[in-house]
Amino acid sequence: MELKQGFKQTEIGLIPADWMLVSIPSITKKGDTSIKIGPFGSALKKDLLVSNGYKVYGQENIFKNDMTIGKRFITHDHFNKLKTCEISPGDFLISMMGTVGKCLIVPTGIDQGIMDSHLLRIRLDNLKINSKYLYYIFQSKIIFDQVRQLSVGGIMEGLSSKIIKSLFAPMPSSLVEQTAIANTLIDTEKWIQSLNRLIVKKQNIKQGAMQNLLNPYENRELKKGWVSKELGEISKHSKGKGLSKSQLTINGKYPCIHYGELFTKYNESIECVFSRTNLNKDVYLSKSNDVLMPTSDVTPNGLATASCIKKNGVILGGDILVIRPNNSVLDGVFFSYLINIEREQVLQLVTGTTVYHLYGKDMAKFKMRLPKDLSEQVRIANILSDMDEEITALKNKLSKAKQIKEGMMQNLLTGKVRLL
């Protein structure tokens, strides 16, 4: 096979001819503890921990990217015995359990302390490698593929110091080029973080709006124009009919909603999800303004969700509770938002122990307060729906940003795209 011009073949694939493929030990500081795993669990048993002293850091700090959390401490004498496991600013920490690629560069200003047995510390030679560059290497497919090959039986339940020492990283020999790549990816990550923060902000605004718009009381009295109703007074309930996944296809002619989609694609208003290849008499068809709820789940919380379908003639699968409101009295989208903030009341109607159920006859007892004027219900639902649309658009943008970052990492960290 002819090599791409300007590239060379290595154990991990093609990299630029002027790049290096380095082992992790070769880019660490000299010394026996440059790659070090935390002490055995017996050295940090609960009875050895104290309420204040030298901090014990664990994988929770890496998962949260926050060195301030955690309340495990050891005494000064115990710290001195385990001093080879001390964590210092600039150390490269890797979680040994769970997802490959979870790592953190220790910031300045941390409390003095040690790592536990779930962490591995690497002390890098900063004259050879930019630590942020290595951080992104560890997040990439480059490391994931190597760990998968090195893991016994292909099962990636955790890392080990032996695996870490066997890993290779492609890198430019120039620290300037390493830094340029790292900074570009840092900027992309900041973009993703800003989108995450904006989504959380918009979600909090929406939650506040829901609490305000759906609150039936003003000065502890029912708002003017609001009334109290039981769901059974203003709706009928029924159940969808069996709809196996084998009957479903994305190219089918008849739109349907499978029970599982109420969990995976939940929203206060839902569009048809799957399509069915054939239509027979043994189906249950939706009517616009129907409200759909799950009827069984392994957790009760999974049942306290509702979605309004705005289309007629969509096939509804079995185990879907169909609430069919009196359309002149109750707007389905409004009711779905109402369920969202009345979760506790729904949970009181759930029955079961190992598998939980929500029956229509019980849901009919659901008590609510709502505007008597249907147009006011629609107005409230539209305000909240507009907020949801904005949040969905931001989530789509976030998903696209993550895809862009993955593509950039694959190109920049293998030298397919050069910045210098």
pLDDT of 285-324, one tens digit each? 999 999 999 999 988 988 998 999 999 988 898 889 999 9
Counting beta carbons within 10 angstroms of the beta carbon of residue 337, is it exposed (0 to 12), middle (13 to 18) or buried (19 or more)? Answer: buried
Question: Do the domains spanning 18-170 and 226-372 agree at the CATH topology level?
Answer: yes
22 neighbors 171 (Cβ within 8 angstroms): yes
pLDDT attached to residue 1: 47
- Residue-averaged pLDDT of the chain: 91
As a whole number, mean pLDDT of residues 190-205 equals 97
Q: CATH topology for 174-225+373-420? A: Helix Hairpins (1.10.287)
Q: Which of 49-53, 97-101, 230-234, 279-283 has the lowest mean pLDDT?
A: 97-101
Radius of gyration over every alpha carbon of the chain, rounded to an integer in angstroms: 28
SS3 386: helix
Residue 274: predicted pLDDT: 66
Could you tell me the fold of the domain covering 18-170?
Answer: Adenine-n6-DNA-methyltransferase TaqI; Chain A, domain 2 (3.90.220)
Residue 2 identity:
E
User: What pLDDT, on a 0 to 100 scale, did the predictor assign at position 116?
Assistant: 94
* pLDDT-above-70 percentage for the chain: 93
pLDDT given at position 71: 93
Number of H helices, E strands in the chain: 12, 28
Q: Which fold is adopted by the domain 226-372?
A: Adenine-n6-DNA-methyltransferase TaqI; Chain A, domain 2 (3.90.220)
What is the CB-side half-sphere exposure of residue 400 using CA atoms within 13 A? 6
Residue of higher predicted confidence among 220 and 279: 220
pLDDT of 347: 95
What average pLDDT does this structure show over 79-90? Answer: 95
Q: What is the dihedral of CA 92, 96, 100, 105, to 10 degrees?
A: -20
Domain ranges of the chain: 18-170, 174-225+373-420, 226-372
119-133, 299-313, 406-420: least confidently modelled range: 299-313
What's the sign of the alpha-carbon dihedral 187, 192, 193, 197? Answer: positive
Q: Cα separation of 324 and 310, whole Å?
A: 12
- Position 188 pLDDT exceeds 70: yes
> Cα torsion at 89, 95, 101, 104 (round to 10°)?
-20
What DSSP assignment string belongs to 320-338?
Answer: EEEEEE-TTT--HHHHHHH
Task: Please give the pLDDT value at position 135.
Answer: 96
Q: What is the pLDDT of residue 99?
A: 67
pLDDT band at 156 (very low <50, low <70, confident <90, very high): low
Tell me the pLDDT tens digit for each residue of 330-361.
Answer: 999 999 999 989 999 999 999 998 899 999 99
CA-to-CA separations, 186 to 28, 125, 128, 212, in angstroms, rounded: 23, 21, 20, 39
Question: Looking at 36-40, 128-132, 197-201, which range is the least confident one?
Answer: 36-40
